[in-house]
A and B are shown apart, each in its own frame.
Chain A
């Protein structure tokens, strides 16, 4: 009989007696060293890309949608020229290389929800995601569980996120499998009349921009409350 009743996973949270380097770390270090010694890229390029990778996150995407809710002209711009609208919230999709991030390409589209249409994004092939404006994708977005099921059973999967939409709302799954990157522009919820851009941005969560949640006054966090901790997390 166990003498404690908490539910965290010991295999994951208890540090080993001797802290060993992992096979993953050894390989990454070996490859990076060889690349730099062979002149495939410079240490400076690596440094610039690392800085870029560390600063991306969902803040500009939330800001973009909040502004679109408040300013009809900006909303038009966001839907017609999403690259230009991105620049207005500080994201130039050509950064940091002059041609963008190689894996995210340079084709971005914002999908506008209406009272009768709800969008949700997935990449059933890998994890295509609008990284430059929304940061790295969450772990669940990359799993076969989400990728296999959302394209075929969208209503069941959304219900698991706590989102049950009425029958008369069309659910449109956007499987982003080529060079376009997509983001959802959810509808502004009731109860936010008179709010500032900052107040609105706070409730536009990453999950609501993927389409697995709706913005709601008072809710500023994503749906999943379980986070698997890293062995050696990112050093800031």
Chain B
């Protein structure tokens, strides 16, 4: 049982978390929010490319057993047609909010995304999750005492009534995105075409990084056809596949302050909806 002092300590801890831009007060009135700040708050957390960062050491890390088990859990849910990876990526990398994105270990977010997804899609109830957490905590109350934490499912459920996606069936023997070959219509661009990345008012999810928007590049190759991540992430199985392209940019075109070789380049993959022909 917590004491009044324990509760005060935990509240003091929560109060120390900073989650807003320091130049605008917390809980601002609408007149205090500039358009730049509005879009900066809308920036998807996972879009880390080109943000400022002081150099830090490059560390290796030994993997925890629960981290491997989390990876496996997420992949098995994909295998079984419960979700596609793009749904997980949004829930774990974008929907969590920046303090959690930067404040917890990488696989924590993968794990949280499983819980959130199972609740949102009505596979489990809040009480089932909460009761099971309490039960597992009780199992190891007082310490592990040399034991390794282990899952102990009470039985194997009948999965025949579970709602599953088409992807995990249609991809068999072909793979994703090869399963969509021939469904994207004629490719709008060919290798060598000059394109600009559109500056779309993209809200809530995208995989086209902000650091490329508005930049001009050249099509290196047409990659494959696939539904765009902006559709897959919401589980839209009705989305039409479109062409994706590997686009090459000159570093000196991307950055005002680039001082490397003039030929240094960067390539990334972009769906057709984000590209516009130059000229």
List A residues at the B interface (Cβ < 8 Å). 18-22, 24-43, 45-46, 49-50, 53-54, 93-94, 97-103, 105-107, 124-127, 136, 138-140, 142-149, 151-152, 154-156, 160-161, 167-180, 222-224, 226-235
Contacts and interface: CB of A to CB of B under 8 A. Distances in A.
B13 interface: no
Contacts of A172: 248, 264-267
Interface string B132-165: 1101110010111110111111111111111000
Interface stretch (B1-9, B66-74, B194-202): B66-74
A171 B230 CA distance: 30
B20 interface: no
A126 B65 CA distance: 21
B59 A32 contact: no
Given A49-B76, A234-B63, A33 B260 contact: no
Contacts of B258: 152
Contacts of A100: 171, 175-176
A32 B77 CA distance: 10
Given A171-B261, A223-B58, 6 more contacts: A24-B107, A102-B74, A124-B48, A151-B50, A160-B55, A178-B270
B60 A222 contact: yes
B23 interface: no
Contacts of B142: 18
Contacts of B179: 99
A163 to B, nearest CB: 12
Contact of A106 (B56, B70, B177): B177
A31 B254 CA distance: 43
A152 B144 contact: no
Contacts, number: 352
B33 interface: no
Q: Looking at B63, B76, B176, B223, which has the most chain A CB atoms within 10 Å of its CB?
A: B76
B75 A49 contact: yes
Contacts of B100: none
B276 interface: no
A167 B117 CA distance: 49
Given A99-B176, A103-B85, A124-B47, A180 B226 contact: no
B148 A232 contact: yes
B41 interface: no
B183 interface: no
Given A174-B268, A222-B60, A154 B260 contact: yes
Contacts of A94: 173, 175
Interface residues of B, number: 116
Nearest to A149: B53
Contact of A49 (B72, B114, B168): B72
B184 interface: no
A97 B172 CA distance: 8
Interface stretch (B24-32, B122-130, B185-193): B122-130
B147 to A, nearest CB: 9
B209 A107 contact: no
B115 A19 contact: no
15 contacts: A28-B66, A30-B136, A33-B132, A34-B128, A38-B159, A41-B79, A127-B106, A145-B58, A154-B251, A172-B265, A176-B268, A177-B269, A179-B244, A224-B60, A228-B62
Contacts of B76: 35, 41, 45-46, 49
Contacts of A97: 78-79, 168, 172
A9 to B, nearest CB: 11
A212 to B, nearest CB: 8
Contact of A21 (B118, B137, B266): B137
B255 interface: yes
